[in-house]
Copies of this chain bind each other. A is one copy, B any other.
Amino acid sequence: MSGMRKALVLRRRPRGEPERDDFQMVETPLPEPQQGQVLTRTIWLSIDPYMRGRLYDRASYAKPVQIGEVMTGESVGEVIASAAPGFVPGDVVVGSRGWETHSLSDARQLVKLDPHGPPLSTYLGVLGMPGVTAYSGMVDVGRVKQGETVVVSAASGPVGSVAGQLAKRAGARVVGVAGGPEKCLWVQETLGFDDCVDHRSMDLEAALRAACPNGIDVYFENVGGAVQAAVIPLLNVFARVIVCGLVAQYNDPKPPPGPNLGFMIVKRVLMQGILVSDKPERFAEWRALATPWVKDGSLHYRETVIDGLENAPEALALVLRGGNFGKMLVRVGPDPQAEGGPTTA
């Protein structure tokens, strides 16, 4: 196999918002797959808020990316060479790889996709890690009951949009929190949430209180910061808080103090931190459940696409300041399935 592989390696640890110069593009000859491996060319690269955590030099649930290492990330790719049974060139797969034009992977770590199924990009969004995160959080922690009030922050994002739509399906009153009127409109009109509060409102707390006249039974936490502070006083007795993300603070090397835990006793609140990889069985479960909903158009999602691997750092910076609208993707190479631009349902 001849040709070159381009990859973005970490050049220095970002201070605050990640920048292009924090990474460096390196070129190396394409590797040969060994027994059990496949070589893929990257089509779609997923950009997710958790990536900021990998750029700090501190232990978390995953090891940090080291200086000189390729930045990690999930991607959809096309097999171009295979030394693994059951994988042939032309197969399309999704897996956890890196910010690179080509990936050498252990085939057991990959999931083969139906090329005639939903848009390939959805396996990084609504049908992928963000969708499973929302599903898992709702099933394992939220346990929404009919008539309850559910608040979802980052409501137009790939996790929040699924979390809220699942809550609607469960018969809840669903209130989103999103940044700006355009996102709020989409959350209400397309996703069908009952209300959406713009977190840039003059008085976020009053706006949220007005949108939740019966208090809040479930909070799907994606952002932290001022939204979290506004939600907590409105929690009802026996409320559940799914602590999934705190994007508002990810660029901050020293996260601010949080809530005094007195409310947890007063309201007997359950809070649970979640990580999608803890329940790998949920991935197949969710794909089986949600694929028909994506096909029939009843589960809505939105994508923001930036072309070119070299723009991945900018895409990450965008996600961290809420500059994306829906799932953030980098198109690294042509999508065999698509005729034209990005897909939006």
Contacts of A267 in B (CB 8 A): 61, 273
Asked if residues A265 and B246 are in contact (CB atoms below 8 Å), the reply is yes
**Contact of A261 (CB < 8 Å), options: B258, B263, B268, B270:** B258
The stretch that binds B, out of A153-161, A237-245, A313-321, is A237-245
CA distance A60 to B265 in the complex (A): 9
Cβ A258 vs Cβ B255 within 8 A: no
Known contacts A237-B61, A268-B274, A273-B269; A260 and B262 CB within 8 A of each other: no
Q: Are B268 and A271 closer than 8 Å at their CB atoms?
A: no
A297 contact set on B, CB distance < 8 A: none
Whether the Cβ atoms of A255 and B265 lie closer than 8 Å is no
Q: Is B268 a contact of A260 with CB atoms below 8 Å?
A: no
A341 within 8 A of B: no
Chain A contact-residue range equals 20 to 34
Q: State whether the Cβ of A256 lies closer than 8 Å to any Cβ in chain B.
A: yes
Residues of A219-252 whose CB lies within 8 A of B? 221, 224, 228, 237, 243-246, 249
The reply to whether the CB of A1 lies closer than 8 angstroms to some CB of chain B is no
Interface pair B258/A268, CB less than 8 Å apart: no
Most chain B CB within a 10 A radius of its CB, from A61, A255, A262: A262
Contacts of A224 in B (CB 8 A): 260-262
Task: Find out whether the CB atom of A273 lies under 8 angstroms from the CB atom of B278.
Answer: no
Residues of A within 8 A of B (CB): 60-61, 221, 224, 228, 237, 243-246, 249, 255-275, 278
By Cβ-Cβ distance, the 6 closest A-B pairs, closest first, are A264-B273, A257-B257, A258-B260, A255-B260, A265-B273, A243-B264
